[in-house]
Chains A and B, each alone.
Chain A
Amino acid sequence: MDARRGFLLADTPGIAHRPAPTVRLRDFTRRFGANTVIDGLDLDIAPGEFIALLGRSGSGKTTLLRTLAGLDDARGQDVTVPAARAVVFQDARLMPWKKVWRNVTLGLRGRDTRARAERALDEVGLGHRLDAWPLTLSGGEAQRTALARALAREPQLLLLDEPFAALDALTRLRMHDLVLSLWRAHNPAILLVTHDVDEAIALADRVLVLDHGRIVGEERIDAPRGERDGIARELRESLLNWLGVRPGASNEGNGVVRLAAARP
């Protein structure tokens, strides 16, 4: 499947001192007719790196994610992604006709897949819902099942497509913690696509801002998670600036931004 989609698979370790990047894109361009969605994009994601990708609607985020997920053809392009990768979508996209554990094992090869599903579901705190039908799950539970489904594949690259956008604020915070603890335990490279600047700052090692198919801004965050309050304001301003939002300047009901900027 990967060869057909024109990928190079990066599972051979690099010869240089630095480990080979898990994801490597060079001059990646994607057009739909006359519309250039992604324009000469270069991207490296190191093994185990947590990247947040910010961008407005139509900035090319989804297209980039679909390419990395192997859902879109990348033939003839310099695109390298690992063979072991998994996606968590905004809507959990569980097959409603398969019980929770069968959703987790969907597409898994090998024996004893139920035990693997059980382990993954235990890790996201859903060990007791193995045999539940997906339509009986709450939004948070469905999203945790989707996380377990991704984890069970032991991915080197985990793609998160606005996975918390549809959840209530409290559940979202719990999911942040869960994703971080899973990331620490399994250490995949993560690309988190999000609209939420604060979410990006709270979770990522590196935040990229995509606009009109180009990376227009990048922030590396070295401060440990949980100790980022001090730098958050400055980061937020520069990220919002790249996103084309000028904090404090707008009067058209952009209360979130003004409030955030006003905080000391």
Chain B
Amino acid sequence: MATIAPNVGMAPTADRQRTFRLPTLRAGRWLSPILLLLLWELASRTGLIPERTLAAPSTVIGTLVEMVVSGELPSNLLVSFGRASIGLAIGLAVGIVLALIAGLSRQGEVAIDPLMQIKRTIPVVALSPLLIVWFGIGETTKITLIAFAAVFPVYINLYSGIRAVDARLIDAGRSFGLSRLELIQHVILPGALPSLLVGLRFSLSVAIIVLVIAEQINASAGLGYLINNARDFMRTDIIVVCLMVYALLGLGADWLVRAIESRALAWRPSILEQ
């Protein structure tokens, strides 16, 4: 996400006009969301939006503080975070291993790729009845769903990334006497890394989506449990708090991938220019 920082540096005279205008425009980006919040608050206070439809922003903030202080939010967030992390770790590991096998050998491609394409046609969520029959409604089902969903994006991106590595670079590597293993290490894997990170980003966001869905299946802890409970008591303030937390999870995932990218892809011109 773009961080919006006021530009307070001393500008050289030639750039004065540009640096003078930039902060005002950037600050302007805050204007419409704040205005919306104010209108929402006003509408809630005047009774235009009833509490049971949508809680006022001030109430939401109060509830948020309350839930943090009581430990209710952190403990449930931790449960959800754990589910997402374990599912994601399993999904990524499986996806990366399968992509390496399919990407680096023709036999592997023949064996694995058709299965992955078949898997892709099955909507992950549609598997939940089967998983519930197998594993019940406990953690296993939720984690399996997340893992299952996270496999494909990382698989397809890494696999095609390996196949798309510039053949001219591979030729150059071979002309310098690199063995097959050295080619993989020095040419193919670094060349496929940008694709892997794209896959990672997709896997992260799909994992969060599936987390939300999986937590609607009879959870006894976690953000989904909080939301379901709040629904039963028509506590729209708690629902909004949980939505905010989901959004923060997504932001955090995005930040994580960006941090990895700026370290691992330091050689890219787009990052070099920054």
A contact residues vs B (CB 8 Å cutoff)? 1, 69-71, 86-87, 89, 91, 93, 95-98, 106-107, 133-136, 149, 153
**Most A-side CB within 10 Å, residue of B171, B172, B174:** B172
Q: Are A136 and B190 in contact (CB under 8 A)?
A: no
The complex places the Cα of A69 from the Cα of B175 at a distance, in Å, of 6
Question: Could you say which of B207-215, B223-231, B264-272 contacts chain A?
Answer: B264-272
- Residues of chain B with a CB closer than 8 A to A97's CB: 190-191, 193, 265, 267
CB neighbors of A among B255-269 (8 A): 265-269
**Most B-side CB within 10 Å, residue of A70, A95, A134, A149:** A95
Q: Are A86 and B176 in contact (CB under 8 A)?
A: yes
- Does B111 sit at the interface, judged by CB under 8 A? no
B contact residues vs A (CB 8 Å cutoff)? 168-169, 171-179, 182, 186-187, 190-191, 193, 265-269, 272
Q: Are B193 and A87 in contact (CB under 8 A)?
A: no
The complex places the Cα of A134 from the Cα of B266 at a distance, in Å, of 11
- Residues of chain A with a CB closer than 8 A to B191's CB: 97
Q: Determine which of A91, A106, A133 lies in contact with B176 in the assembled complex, contact meaning CB atoms within 8 Å.
A: A106
- Residues of chain B with a CB closer than 8 A to A98's CB: 186, 190, 267
The complex places the Cα of A91 from the Cα of B168 at a distance, in Å, of 9
Q: Are A89 and B168 in contact (CB under 8 A)?
A: yes
Q: Determine which of B174, B190, B272 lies in contact with A71 in the assembled complex, contact meaning CB atoms within 8 Å.
A: B174
Q: Are B168 and A93 in contact (CB under 8 A)?
A: yes
Closest to A2 in B: B177
Q: How far is the CB of B5 from chain A (nearest CB, A)?
A: 26
The SS class assigned to the A binding surface is: loop
Closest to B264 in A: A97
Given contacts A96-B268, A97-B190, A133-B266, 8 further A-B contacts (CB under 8 A): A71-B171, A89-B168, A95-B173, A97-B193, A107-B173, A107-B176, A107-B178, A135-B268
Closest to A91 in B: B168
Closest 5 CB pairs between A and B? A107-B176, A93-B172, A97-B190, A87-B175, A133-B267
- Residues of chain A with a CB closer than 8 A to B266's CB: 133
The complex places the Cα of A87 from the Cα of B174 at a distance, in Å, of 10
Q: How far is the CB of B47 from chain A (nearest CB, A)?
A: 61
The complex places the Cα of A102 from the Cα of B187 at a distance, in Å, of 12
Q: Determine which of B171, B179, B186 lies in contact with A95 in the assembled complex, contact meaning CB atoms within 8 Å.
A: B186
The complex places the Cα of A91 from the Cα of B176 at a distance, in Å, of 15
- Residues of chain B with a CB closer than 8 A to A87's CB: 172, 175
Q: Are A71 and B175 in contact (CB under 8 A)?
A: yes
Query: Given that A93-B172, A95-B169 are known contacts, is A107 also in contact with B267, CB under 8 Å in the complex?
Result: no
Query: Given that A93-B169, A95-B190 are known contacts, is A135 also in contact with B175, CB under 8 Å in the complex?
Result: no
Q: How far is the CB of A33 from chain B (nearest CB, A)?
A: 20
Q: How far is the CB of A213 from chain B (nearest CB, A)?
A: 21
The complex places the Cα of A135 from the Cα of B174 at a distance, in Å, of 21
**Most B-side CB within 10 Å, residue of A87, A106, A136:** A106
Q: Determine which of B186, B268, B272 lies in contact with A106 in the assembled complex, contact meaning CB atoms within 8 Å.
A: B186
Closest to B178 in A: A107
The complex places the Cα of A150 from the Cα of B173 at a distance, in Å, of 12
- Residues of chain A with a CB closer than 8 A to B172's CB: 87, 89, 93
Q: Are B178 and A106 in contact (CB under 8 A)?
A: yes
The complex places the Cα of A181 from the Cα of B178 at a distance, in Å, of 28
Residue pairs across A and B with Cβ atoms less than 8 A apart, 28 shown, are: A70-B174, A70-B175, A71-B175, A86-B175, A87-B172, A89-B168, A89-B172, A93-B169, A93-B171, A93-B172, A95-B173, A95-B186, A95-B187, A95-B190, A96-B268, A97-B265, A98-B190, A98-B267, A106-B176, A106-B186, A107-B177, A133-B266, A133-B267, A133-B272, A134-B267, A135-B267, A135-B272, A136-B269
The complex places the Cα of A134 from the Cα of B190 at a distance, in Å, of 14
Closest to B174 in A: A71
Closest to A135 in B: B269
- Residues of chain B with a CB closer than 8 A to A89's CB: 168, 171-172
The complex places the Cα of A93 from the Cα of B272 at a distance, in Å, of 19
- Residues of chain B with a CB closer than 8 A to A134's CB: 267
The complex places the Cα of A70 from the Cα of B187 at a distance, in Å, of 18
Q: Are B269 and A153 in contact (CB under 8 A)?
A: no
- Residues of chain B with a CB closer than 8 A to A86's CB: 175-176
The complex places the Cα of A217 from the Cα of B242 at a distance, in Å, of 80
- Residues of chain A with a CB closer than 8 A to B168's CB: 89, 91, 93
Query: Given that A98-B186, A106-B186 are known contacts, is A136 also in contact with B175, CB under 8 Å in the complex?
Result: no
Q: How far is the CB of A11 from chain B (nearest CB, A)?
A: 15
Closest to B191 in A: A97
The complex places the Cα of A71 from the Cα of B174 at a distance, in Å, of 7
Closest to A146 in B: B172
- Residues of chain B with a CB closer than 8 A to A70's CB: 174-175
Q: Are A1 and B177 in contact (CB under 8 A)?
A: yes
